[in-house]
Amino acid sequence: SYLFSSLSPVCVCVHVSDVSEGVCPQRNSSWSFLHCPKEDECANGHHHCNITQDCHDLTQGYHCTCKQGYVLSRVSGQCEPVCAQGCVNGTCVSPGVCQCHFGFVGDNCSSQCHCNKHSNCKGVSEPDKCLECKNNTMGDHCEKCKPLYVGSAVGGGTPFREFFNGNRAVCLSRDEHKRALDHPKTTLWTQTA
């Protein structure tokens, strides 16, 4: 192999049996340095800092620090986003940005939608505008159970499926369902929607 000193333009040719100095041959030669040139690992991508970290070049190696808006977690050892406003009913997913839990809205996820815990809503200014009723519910505020489901959809209750005589599309509360089973001849089976 051939070594090149950064201090002089002379190539040092190293062979198994001897060392000679002179001009490196053009064929079958490779360049090596006696002293490694200064490397900026941050500039050339030879570092392991991730997207939440800034890379700082050092004389030997590099150092990673958390980017602005992130803080080093003592638990995970990773840089985690900071939401100064807090995320009351949600998770901080990037600096200053909360991802709200289902049924909550707002910068800090503190406003609850008026959808009986069955839907997200349009926003803080429109908590009554339910986007899509879940859990077998329906209605403007997801306050009713879907046809063939019984129970209470109000306050987060989850309707359950019940097959009626003839599988009629009837929605009843638990109490109404019990009364209907106890007094089948006097109960009016009507659709509520």
Q: pLDDT of 96-120, one tens digit each?
A: 999 999 999 999 999 999 999 999 9
pLDDT digits (tens, 9 = 90+) for 114-135: 999 999 999 999 999 999 999 9
- Residue 191: the pLDDT is 42
Q: Are 64 and 54 in contact (CB under 8 A)?
A: yes
Q: Phi/psi of residue 176, each to 5°?
A: -65, -40
Q: How far is residue 57's CA from residue 108's CA, in Å, rounded to a whole number?
A: 37
Scan for tokens 């000679």, then name that residue.
20
Q: Which of 73, 70, 74, 99 is nearest to 84 (CA)?
A: 70
pLDDT higher than 60, residue 30: no
Which residues are CB-neighbours of 61 under 8 A, at least 6 positions away?
Answer: 41
- Residue 15: the pLDDT is 45
Domains and CATH numbers, the chain: 1-37 (no CATH), 41-82 (2.10.25), 135-182 (no CATH)
